[in-house]
């Protein structure tokens, strides 16, 4: 069995756990200038929602209502999605874990904000650690650097997906510091170059990762897959 991680552009990923499709932060073509595929051609069994900003939740309602996917999110976002017709929601909160059919999901803190597109309160932003087939994958979500990343890394991370775009989240330099706290085997950058304000040369950053950390950088192109 293998785990496949496909970047859809910006903070959106499609994860495949032995045939179970898990979509992180649905934001597809039509809304997401970096994405190549539209939400109508995406399959999901589960959706991991890190926070309520439009560049993460724009396509959650259409994806969840069409596929019947279960959205894993904080209760404030769950309540908002439910009012918009999403039926399957699994509410969780920071520090909590739950065993889903594809693996265990634990919610981590994230240093960011989380208002919903219509101004509704979205609770706290979060990240995820997904444990499946004894592999640990950390999806940081939108966050600043914080020192408790060393605690998140203490489980022994196989992959860390980190924002590097700066301006809205940590930038390339703080992401290097984050890698040295998290100590993942592999790091995948996200949340960069979608718009000019978060333009980053990810390949130049990858060279820095190789020089200053023990992690292996994997820079994915849009719709490119890393197999774990």
Query: In the complex, which residues of this chain contact Ni ion (CB under 5 A)?
Result: 53, 142
The binder of 59, among Ni ion, Mn ion, none, by C-beta within 5 to 8 A per type, is none
Closer residue to Mn ion in complex, CB, 16/142 = 142
Least distance in angstroms from the C-beta of 100 to Ni ion: 24
- The option from Mn ion, Ni ion, none interacting with 174 (CB < 5 to 8 A, set by class) reads none
Please enumerate in sequence order all residues whose Cβ is within 8 A of that of 222, keeping only pairs 6 or more positions apart, or say none. Answer: 7, 8, 9, 34, 35, 36
Report the residue closest to Ni ion, judged by CB.
53
- Give the Cα separation of 20 and 105 in Å (integer): 14
Tell me the two tokens of residue 86: 């999403």
Q: Binding to Mn ion (CB under 5 A): which residues in 113-152? A: 142
DSSP code string of 41-95: G---SEEE-----HHHHTTHHHHHHHH-PEEEE-HHHHHHHHHTT---EEE--TT
Which of 16, 25, 45, 55 forms a contact with Mn ion (CB under 5 A)?
Answer: 55
Q: How far apart are CA 56 and CA 51, in angstroms?
A: 7
Binding partner of residue 76 among Mn ion, Ni ion, none, CB under 5 to 8 Å per kind? none
Please tell me what DSSP assigns to residue 221: P
Using the contact rule CB under 5 A, the part of the chain among 15-23, 50-58, 70-78, 193-201 near Mn ion is 50-58
1, exposed or middle or buried, with CB in 10 Å at 0-12, 13-18, 19+? exposed
> Which does residue 136 touch among Mn ion, Ni ion, none (CB within 5 to 8 A, set by kind)?
none
**52 vs 184, beta carbon nearer Mn ion:** 52
Of 149, 144, 147, 146, the C-alpha closest to 163 is 144
Decide whether 150 or 167 has the Cβ nearer to Mn ion.
167
The C-alpha torsion from 123 through 62 and 38 to 188, rounded to 10°, is 30
Instruction: Give SS3 for 192.
Output: coil
Interface with Mn ion includes 166 (CB under 5 A)? no
Q: CB of 88: closest distance to Ni ion in angstroms?
A: 24
Contact letters for Mn ion, residues 192-221 (x by CB under 5 A): ------------------------------
The rounded distance, in Å, linking the Cα atoms of 92 and 213 is 33
Which tokens go with 13? 């990923």
59 near Mn ion, judged by CB under 5 A: no
Q: How many residues form the binding site for Mn ion (CB under 5 A)?
A: 2
Q: How far is the CB of 55 from Ni ion (least distance, A)?
A: 6
Write down the least CB distance from residue 65 to Mn ion, Å.
23
* Residues lying near Mn ion in the complex (CB under 5 A): 55, 142
């Amino acid at each position: 069995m293998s785990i496949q991680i496909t970047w859809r552009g910006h903070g959106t990923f499609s994860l495949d756990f032995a045939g179970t499709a898990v979509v992180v932060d649905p934001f597809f073509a039509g809304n997401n200038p970096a994405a190549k595929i539209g939400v109508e051609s995406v399959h999901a069994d589960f959706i991991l929602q890190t926070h309520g900003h439009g560049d993460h939740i724009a396509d959650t309602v259409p994806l969840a209502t069409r596929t019947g996917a279960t959205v894993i999110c904080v209760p404030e976002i769950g309540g908002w999605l439910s009012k918009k017709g999403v039926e399957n929601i699994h509410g969780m909160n920071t520090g909590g874990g739950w065993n889903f059919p594809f693996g265990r999901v634990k919610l981590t803190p994230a240093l960011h904000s989380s208002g919903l597109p219509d101004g509704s309160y979205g609770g706290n932003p979060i990240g995820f650690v997904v444990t499946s087939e004894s592999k640990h994958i950390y999806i940081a979500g939108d966050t600043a650097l914080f020192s408790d990343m060393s605690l998140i890394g203490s489980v022994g991370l196989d992959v860390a997906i980190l924002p590097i775009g700066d301006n809205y989240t940590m930038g390339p330099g703080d992401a290097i510091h984050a890698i040295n706290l998290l100590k993942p085997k592999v790091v995948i950058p996200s949340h960069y170059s979608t718009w000019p304000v978060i333009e980053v040369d990810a390949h130049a950053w990858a060279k820095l990762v190789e020089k200053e950390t023990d992690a292996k950088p994997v820079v994915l192109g849009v719709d490119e897959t890393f197999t774990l």
